[in-house]
Amino acid sequence: MTRIKLSIEGMHCQSCEILISGALKEQNGISYVKVNHKNGTAEVEFDSSKIKKEEIIETINKEGYKVRR
């Protein structure tokens, strides 16, 4: 398993956390998600043989947020 911490722009409330968490949990290969709107981060644990970091970032961006690289 691989664990990453991402910085996300555009989160303002708990609803943002729920939206991002839900979108990520739907992806095959993701086993853990913790999103925090107060500090603008997401921690994600995933199986890199099933999903790539770029796909995780793309999922978040599709929800209307921006992952800082």
Q: Are 7 and 67 in contact (CB under 8 A)?
A: yes
pLDDT score at 59:
97
Most distant CA pair in the chain, distance: 32
pLDDT score at 11:
96
pLDDT score at 69:
75
pLDDT score at 28:
96
CATH number of the domain at 2-68, please? Answer: 3.30.70.100
Q: Which residues of the chain have pLDDT under 70?
A: none
What's at 58, amino acid-wise?
E
